[in-house]
């Protein structure tokens, strides 16, 4: 269902945005579009049937409140002002929202007050909250080492908690003389759009009792932790369904008046409800017990969701990952029994769980890894490098850093005429544009332009991801290294094979 989530958010909910940039759509039309999205989300592709396990309003709740952060289309319609022009009233109604969403993008930091100005990424209006003011440090520039264009980590650690320091260090800095600028904080471009305005509006209204009741604190903490773990979307969505009892267990199907046998397919001895299939079944107990996860229910009177949240809270990060992957594997094994008649073994299922956890751990061991390949016009490798970056979670930032590393490598090797290609259209367009960028990655873009000014000729080109396999192969192999790796007229073994295959394909074309 991870693919469905992406499709709904990036396609179905993006379609009305253009019209709603200026105009208010009828509420009836908004509701009709939401019904179409709900049917698509819940439909079973195999049987072409759908059971709506909860309301669309529940799905539009923030993820930490138990929803999926789908958009309420009608909420895009802001309340009107009193001016006579319909278009003008529609635009004017967004004024207050825009003011609340503005904040500083850091350049030199000399215009930004640490304690009173909105400059942090993330929630809370960009302000530092809950910290006593240290008058020895007033401006953001006081926290920056301007010689190296890096944050003064030692100073930050003395002033703030480690998690807040990581948030600071995720903000890129530029070696160029970049001015501080006020931008829209809720979109990576730094410019206002309806989608990001909706995000801010939802944050403001999420505590409104007229929309929905707040979830218990333990539930909110659970969902905040669950959605934040570094696991695939399919694993997290499965856990969301488990917690909300949205799985088509036999007990749930019987409750919806379907004529099915309610016996657990895995053990055959108990009624299959979500609590049994995910916690009490002998098959599941053996899997969890082998991983050192406590399975005894010490709170029989506590509702299932709250009890699971309490269990999750007591686990360490490794056990949390293991629990979520186990739930996903168990449901997959259950479906194999029901649909294919294949009975799973504890040994094979445990091996699959441990292998999956190891794979996910390796993928998330580092923030991001850049893979850079320098080739001549015949496709032969001249140089290559892989470099890991800490505190990087945003894909556009990772692509921008890879582009910067490519420009730096070409300059250090003494090239004068360069074609710099990447598969992020956004990053390439920003590098080609003469307009001063206002996005979060603008310090990196400024550095790229400064480096490229040293070349006699530089051409930026966008290529499809399929045409950038060699660089991605090197980036994948770079995850195995704890330090930067450089090659001259060669590369890592898998990268060499990918480069030769690519060169032959281009030659034959």
DSSP codes, 136-185? T--BGGGGEETTTTEE-HHHHHHHS-HHHHHHHHTS---SS-PPPEEEET
In this predicted model, what pLDDT tens digit does every residue of 175-205 receive, in sequence order? Answer: 888 889 888 887 777 887 777 777 777 666 6
pLDDT mean over 64-74: 80
Residue 93: its pLDDT value, please? 62
Across 205-219, 239-253, 291-305, 355-369, the highest mean pLDDT is recorded for 239-253
Question: Cβ-count burial of 257 within 10 angstroms (0-12 exposed, 13-18 middle, 19+ buried)?
Answer: exposed
User: What interhelical angle do 233-244 and 217-228 show, nearest 10?
Assistant: 160
Q: What confidence tier does 121 reach under pLDDT thresholds 50, 70, 90?
A: confident
Contact of 69 with 102, CB cutoff 8 Å: no
- Contact, 156 vs 143, CB < 8 A? yes
In degrees to the nearest 10, what's the CA dihedral of 298, 300, 306, 307? 30
Query: In angstroms, what CA-CA distances link 354 with 39, 334, 342, 361?
Result: 35, 18, 21, 10
**Rounded to an integer, what distance in angstroms lies between the CA atom of residue 236 and that of residue 211?**
25
Which run of H or E residues covers position 44?
Answer: strand 43-44
pLDDT at 453 over 80: yes
Look at residue 388 and give its three-state secondary structure.
strand
| Residue 151: pLDDT band with limits 50, 70, 90 | very high
Q: What is the rounded CA–CA span in Å between residue 316 and residue 259? A: 41
User: What's the rounded Cα separation, in Å, for the pair 40 and 52?
Assistant: 10
Query: Quick one: pLDDT at residue 91?
Result: 59
pLDDT value, residue 418:
93
Decide: 186 and 196 in contact? Cβ < 8 Å: yes
**Token couple for 300:** 């029989």
CB 87 within 8 A of CB 22: yes
The pair of three-digit structure tokens given for residue 217, joined into one six-digit string: 């604190």
pLDDT higher than threshold 60 for residue 366:
no
Residues in Cβ contact with 344 at an 8 Å cutoff, skipping those fewer than 6 apart: 266, 283, 333, 336, 337
The more confident residue out of 12 and 350 is 350
Global pTM value: 0.55
Structure tokens at 124: 């809370």
Q: Are 112 and 139 in contact (CB under 8 A)?
A: yes
Least confident of 188-197, 213-222, 409-418, 458-467: 213-222
456 pLDDT higher than 90: yes
Residue 153 to residue 187: CA distance in whole angstroms: 27
Whole-number pLDDT of residue 406: 93
Q: Kindly state the percentage of the chain with pLDDT values over 70.
A: 85
Pairing of strands 181-184, 102-105: antiparallel
Answer whether 189's CB lies under 8 Å from 210's CB. Answer: no
Q: Helix, strand or coil for residue 295?
A: coil
**What's the pLDDT tens digit per position in 14-58?**
777 666 666 667 778 888 888 888 888 888 766 667 788 888 888
**Percent of the chain residues past pLDDT 90, beyond the cut:** 30
Q: Are 386 and 369 in contact (CB under 8 A)?
A: yes
Q: Give CA–CA dist 301/246, Å, rounded.
A: 21
CA-closest candidate to residue 166, choices 120, 113, 232, 115? 120
Q: Rounded CA gap, 36 and 31, in Å?
A: 9
Q: Domains in the chain, ordered, with CATH? A: 2-94 (no CATH), 98-184 (no CATH), 217-363 (no CATH), 368-508 (3.30.420)
Tokens at 185, concatenated:
């904080």
User: In sequence order, what are the residues at sequence separation of 6 or more whose Cβ sits closer than 8 angstroms to the Cβ of residue 323?
Assistant: 288, 293, 311, 312, 315
Burial track 322-343 (b if 16+ CB lie within 10 A, e otherwise): bbbbbbbbbbebbeebeeeeee
Residue 242 pLDDT class (50, 70, 90 cuts)? very high
Q: Among 332, 129, 303, 305, which Cα is nearest to 226's? A: 305
Residue 365 has pLDDT above 70, yes or no: no
Q: Which two tokens stand for residue 362?
A: 């390796």
Q: What are 401-415's pLDDT values in tens digits?
A: 999 999 999 999 999
The set of residues, in sequence order, having a beta carbon less than 8 Å from that of 133 and lying 6+ positions away, is: 115
Instruction: Inform me whether the pLDDT recorded for 269 exceeds 50.
Output: yes
Q: Kindly state the average pLDDT of the residues 273-293.
A: 90
């Amino acid at each position: 269902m991870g693919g469905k989530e992406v499709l709904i958010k990036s396609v179905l909910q993006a379609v009305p945005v253009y019209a709603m940039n200026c105009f208010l759509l009828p509420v009836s039309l908004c509701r009709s579009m939401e019904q179409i999205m709900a049917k698509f989300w819940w439909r079973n592709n195999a049987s072409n049937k759908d059971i709506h396990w909860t309301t669309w309003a529940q799905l539009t709740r923030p993820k930490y409140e138990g929803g999926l952060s789908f958009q309420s289309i009608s909420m895009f319609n802001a309340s009107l002002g009193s001016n006579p022009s319909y278009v003008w009233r529609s635009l004017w109604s967004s004024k207050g929202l825009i003011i609340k969403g503005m904040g500083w993008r850091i350049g030199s930091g000399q215009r930004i007050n640490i304690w009173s100005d909105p400059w942090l990424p993330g929630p809370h209006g960009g302000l530092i909250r809950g910290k006593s003011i240290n008058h020895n440090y007033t401006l953001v520039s006081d926290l920056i080492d301007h010689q190296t264009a890096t944050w003064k980590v030692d100073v930050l650690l003395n002033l703030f908690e480690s998690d807040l320091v990581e948030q600071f260090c995720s903000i890129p800095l530029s070696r160029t003389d970049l001015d501080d600028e006020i931008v829209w904080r809720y979109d990576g471009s730094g410019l206002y759009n309806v989608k990001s305005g909706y995000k801010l509006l939802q944050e403001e209204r999420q505590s409104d009792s007229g929309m929905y009741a707040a979830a218990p604190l333990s539930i909110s903490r659970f969902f905040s932790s669950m959605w934040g773990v570094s696991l695939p979307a399919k694993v997290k969505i499965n856990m969301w369904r488990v917690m909300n009892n949205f799985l088509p267990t036999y007990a749930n199907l019987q409750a919806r008046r379907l004529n099915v046998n309610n016996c657990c397919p895995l053990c055959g001895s108990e009624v299959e409800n979500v609590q049994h299939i995910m916690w009490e079944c002998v098959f599941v107990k053996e899997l969890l017990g082998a991983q050192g996860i406590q399975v005894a229910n010490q709170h029989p009177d506590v509702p299932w969701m709250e009890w699971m949240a309490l269990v999750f809270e007591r686990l360490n990060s490794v056990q949390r990952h293991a629990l979520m992957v186990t739930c996903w594997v168990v449901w997959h094994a259950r479906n194999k029994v029901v649909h294919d008649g294949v009975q799973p073994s504890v040994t094979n299922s445990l091996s699959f769980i441990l292998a999956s956890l190891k794979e996910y751990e390796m993928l998330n061991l580092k923030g991001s890894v850049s893979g850079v390949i320098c080739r001549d016009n015949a496709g032969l490798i001249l140089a290559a490098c892989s470099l890991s970056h800490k505190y990087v979670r945003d894909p556009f930032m990772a692509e921008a850093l890879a582009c910067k590393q490519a420009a730096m490598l070409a300059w250090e090797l003494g090239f004068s005429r360069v074609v710099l290609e990447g598969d992020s259209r956004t990053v390439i367009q920003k590098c080609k544009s003469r307009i001063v960028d206002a996005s979060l990655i603008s310090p990196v873009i400024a550095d790229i332009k400064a480096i490229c000014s040293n070349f006699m000729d530089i051409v930026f080109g966008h290529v499809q991801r399929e045409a950038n396999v060699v660089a991605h192969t090197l980036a994948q192999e770079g995850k195995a290294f704890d330090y930067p790796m450089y090659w001259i007229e060669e590369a890592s073994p898998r990268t060499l094979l990918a480069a030769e295959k690519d060169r032959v394909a281009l030659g034959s074309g």
